[in-house]
């Protein structure tokens, strides 16, 4: 798989879908809100044993090697939301992260790989609202969007009006993507209309240009069926992406949960003709893990879901390991981790 340049508009921003989105030969459109269909939600069933068997066979397959592996790792970088969401974040840290987002690989490694013409960058930079303006300024002219975690992240328990207002402020500050977290109690209680209305309000607050990523907090949802039902409701409410986790739960992105969400996304696309993106986040730290998730997207959804417009990793620590693996590909030696700082 060769890495293709990321399409941009004339003003430098990423296009909604840089390549035609196709599933099983059928062209798809970007997602839009549709009425809540409770029959679809009630019909959701998940065979946990079958999910576990599918994942076990997936990770047991022989992995890609050499040049092909390097190409897949470059794709992982292009689909990465480089993120800092720590209590000790500062403007200087965010600026350093943005510099890394512009140039995720050392110049010498880019030249050794012969990929200068790709102008490789990450998919987005994800920060708290307080640092949106800092990130927007640091990324000016790069085409890299800024994603802001919002809506009472990570608990999602602030009053709805406050969460909606926070989204408005982030969009006004220049955020092009908004990562919100749902009220998990709506899922536990089967309050699907309330969950739908909440996500629809968040999508409305994003306006016509910002994309909405709905974080389900899958580590809190207890069952795979709950995960699948929440995915369906979020998509019907207009989410542009469904995302596994905040990264703050005790259990974050796992392959079984991801498979369930991806299958829901595929079924939704087949029923509606709308394409929704997917973002696993939390706990993905190694280059090998990135290959597992990329292969899952390719197997289940096809080539269209290997673009940053439809797939993102919520990970930062993974970048250093990918850089080490690419350096090994070039030199035959593993470098020390401290040679590849993030921020």
CA atoms within 13 A on the CB side of 45: 4
pLDDT (0 to 100) of residue 99 = 96
Helices (H) and strands (E) counted in the chain, each on its own, are 13, 12
From the candidates 100, 203, 213, 243, which is the catalytic residue? 243
Which of the pair, 252 or 237, is modelled with greater confidence? 237
Closest-CA residue to 78 (of 46, 40, 122): 122
Q: What is the per-residue pLDDT for 342?
A: 63
Which runs of E-coded beta strand occur in 138-272? 146-150, 177-181, 211-215, 241-243
Q: 177 has which bridge partners?
A: 147, 211
Q: How far is CA 169 from CA 57, 83, 131, 174, in A?
A: 45, 20, 12, 9
Q: Is residue 24 exposed (0-12), middle (13-18) or buried (19+ Cβ within 10 Å)?
A: exposed
Is residue 124 within a helix (H) or strand (E), and if so which, with residue range?
A: strand 124-128
Residue 180 β-bridge partners: 150, 214
Catalytic residue among 81, 100, 179, 220: 179
134: nearest Cα among 89, 199, 167: 89
Q: Among residues 203, 220, 279, 292, which one is catalytic?
A: 279
Report the CATH fold assignment for 26-339: TIM Barrel (3.20.20)
Beta strands in 201-283 (DSSP E): 211-215, 241-243, 274-275, 277-279
> Has residue 1 got a pLDDT over 70?
no
Say how far apart CA 297 and CA 278 lie, in whole Å. 9
Domain ranges, ordered by start, for the chain: 26-339
pTM of the prediction?
0.92
Answer yes or no: 42 catalytic.
no
Residue 176 structure tokens: 């092009």
Q: Sign of the CA dihedral 227, 85, 310, 54?
A: negative
Beta-strand relationship, 177-181 and 146-150 = parallel
Question: pLDDT tens, 266-296?
Answer: 999 999 999 999 999 988 999 999 999 999 9
Q: Is 179 a catalytic residue?
A: yes
Verify whether residue 279 is a known catalytic residue. Answer: yes
Task: Kindly tell me if the per-residue pLDDT of 8 is higher than 80.
Answer: no
pLDDT (tens digit per residue) in 297-333: 999 999 999 999 999 998 878 999 999 999 999 998 8
- Per-residue pLDDT, 16: 46
């Amino acid at each position: 798989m060769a890495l293709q340049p990321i399409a941009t508009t004339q003003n430098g921003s990423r296009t909604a879908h840089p390549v035609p989105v196709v599933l099983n030969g059928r062209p798809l459109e970007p997602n839009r809100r549709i009425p809540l269909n409770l029959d679809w939600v009630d019909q959701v069933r998940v065979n946990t044993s079958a999910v576990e068997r599918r994942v076990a066979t997936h990770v047991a397959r022989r992995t890609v090697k050499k040049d092909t592996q390097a190409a897949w790792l470059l794709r992982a970088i292009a689909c990465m939301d480089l993120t800092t969401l720590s209590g000790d974040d500062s403007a200087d840290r965010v600026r350093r992260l943005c510099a890394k987002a512009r140039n995720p690989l050392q110049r010498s490694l880019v030249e050794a790989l012969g990929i200068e013409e790709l102008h490789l960058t990450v998919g987005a930079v994800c920060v708290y609202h307080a640092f949106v303006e800092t990130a927007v300024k640091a990324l000016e002219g790069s085409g890299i969007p800024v994603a802001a975690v919002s809506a009472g992240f990570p608990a999602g328990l602030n009053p709805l009006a406050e969460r909606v207002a926070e989204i408005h402020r982030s969009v006004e500050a220049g955020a092009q993507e908004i990562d919100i977290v749902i009220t998990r109690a709506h899922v536990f209680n089967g309050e699907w209309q309330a969950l739908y209305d909440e996500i629809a309000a968040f999508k409305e607050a994003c306006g016509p240009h910002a994309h909405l990523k709905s974080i389900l907090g899958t580590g809190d949802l207890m069952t795979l069926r709950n995960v699948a039902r929440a995915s369906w409701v979020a998509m019907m409410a207009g989410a542009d992406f469904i995302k596994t986790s905040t990264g703050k739960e005790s259990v974050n992105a796992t392959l079984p949960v991801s498979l369930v969400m991806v299958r829901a996304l595929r079924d939704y696309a087949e029923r509606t003709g709308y394409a929704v993106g997917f973002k696993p986040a939390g706990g993905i730290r190694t280059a090998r893990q990135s290959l597992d998730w990329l292969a899952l997207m390719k197997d289940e959804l096809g080539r269209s879901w290997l673009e940053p417009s439809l797939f993102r990793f919520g990970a930062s620590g993974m970048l250093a390991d990918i850089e080490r693996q690419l350096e090994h590909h070039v030199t035959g030696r593993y470098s020390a981790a401290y040679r590849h700082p993030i921020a």
